[in-house]
Amino acid sequence: MHIRFFGQVADLTGVTDLTVDHVPNTEKLLENILKQFPVLEHCTFKLAVNRQIIDRECNLTPTCEVAFLPPFAGG
Protein backbone atom coordinates (compact mmCIF):
# COMPACT_ATOMS: atom_id res chain seq x y z
CA MET A 1 0.00 0.00 0.00
CA HIS A 2 1.22 3.48 -0.82
CA ILE A 3 1.24 6.10 1.94
CA ARG A 4 1.88 9.79 1.31
CA PHE A 5 2.63 12.51 3.85
CA PHE A 6 2.11 16.21 3.14
CA GLY A 7 3.09 19.51 4.75
CA GLN A 8 3.74 19.48 8.48
CA VAL A 9 3.06 15.74 8.64
CA ALA A 10 5.87 15.11 6.13
CA ASP A 11 8.14 17.48 8.06
CA LEU A 12 7.51 15.58 11.30
CA THR A 13 8.02 12.11 9.80
CA GLY A 14 10.91 13.09 7.56
CA VAL A 15 9.36 11.22 4.62
CA THR A 16 6.86 12.04 1.89
CA ASP A 17 6.22 8.54 0.51
CA LEU A 18 6.14 5.15 2.16
CA THR A 19 5.14 1.66 1.05
CA VAL A 20 3.63 -0.57 3.73
CA ASP A 21 2.13 -4.04 3.88
CA HIS A 22 -1.62 -4.19 3.34
CA VAL A 23 -3.84 -3.77 6.40
CA PRO A 24 -7.63 -4.24 6.36
CA ASN A 25 -8.67 -0.73 7.43
CA THR A 26 -7.57 2.78 8.30
CA GLU A 27 -7.78 2.08 12.03
CA LYS A 28 -5.11 -0.63 11.77
CA LEU A 29 -3.04 1.50 9.38
CA LEU A 30 -3.13 4.44 11.78
CA GLU A 31 -2.10 2.16 14.65
CA ASN A 32 0.91 0.94 12.64
CA ILE A 33 1.91 4.43 11.44
CA LEU A 34 1.73 5.85 14.97
CA LYS A 35 4.02 3.04 16.19
CA GLN A 36 6.50 3.91 13.44
CA PHE A 37 6.15 7.69 13.86
CA PRO A 38 5.05 8.38 17.47
CA VAL A 39 5.60 12.11 16.88
CA LEU A 40 2.27 12.08 14.99
CA GLU A 41 0.27 11.13 18.10
CA HIS A 42 -0.21 14.78 19.02
CA CYS A 43 -0.44 16.08 15.46
CA THR A 44 -3.68 17.15 13.78
CA PHE A 45 -4.23 15.64 10.34
CA LYS A 46 -6.89 14.19 8.06
CA LEU A 47 -6.73 10.98 6.08
CA ALA A 48 -7.58 10.67 2.41
CA VAL A 49 -8.07 7.31 0.73
CA ASN A 50 -7.67 7.33 -3.04
CA ARG A 51 -7.89 11.15 -2.99
CA GLN A 52 -11.13 11.25 -0.97
CA ILE A 53 -10.95 12.76 2.52
CA ILE A 54 -12.55 10.41 5.04
CA ASP A 55 -14.03 11.16 8.47
CA ARG A 56 -14.30 7.63 9.81
CA GLU A 57 -12.79 4.16 9.52
CA CYS A 58 -12.52 2.90 5.96
CA ASN A 59 -11.75 -0.54 4.54
CA LEU A 60 -8.56 -0.71 2.49
CA THR A 61 -7.35 -2.81 -0.43
CA PRO A 62 -3.71 -3.48 -1.36
CA THR A 63 -3.94 -0.91 -4.18
CA CYS A 64 -5.21 1.96 -2.00
CA GLU A 65 -3.26 5.18 -1.67
CA VAL A 66 -3.61 6.79 1.75
CA ALA A 67 -2.56 10.39 2.35
CA PHE A 68 -1.92 12.07 5.69
CA LEU A 69 -2.97 15.69 5.22
CA PRO A 70 -2.11 18.60 7.52
CA PRO A 71 -4.74 21.15 8.53
CA PHE A 72 -5.48 23.57 5.73
CA ALA A 73 -7.70 26.58 5.23
CA GLY A 74 -9.85 27.37 2.26
CA GLY A 75 -11.36 30.50 0.99
Domain membership flag for residue 56: yes
- Determine the residue type at 15: V
Q: Dump pLDDT digits (tens) for 18-51.
A: 999 999 999 999 999 999 999 999 999 999 999 9
Q: Dump pLDDT digits (tens) for 4-13.
A: 999 999 999 9
For the chain, the domain total comes to 1
pTM: 0.91
- C-alpha 18/C-alpha 70 separation (Å) is 17
Domain membership flag for residue 75: no
Domain membership flag for residue 74: no
Q: Given pLDDT bands bounded at 50, 70 and 90, which one contains residue 73? A: low
CATH code at position 26: 3.10.20.30
Contacts of 67 (CB under 8 A, 6+ apart): 3, 4, 5, 6, 47, 48, 51
Domain range enclosing 8: 2-69
CA 70 centroid distance within chain = 10
Report whether pLDDT(59) > 70. yes
State the pLDDT at residue 74.
63
Domain membership flag for residue 33: yes
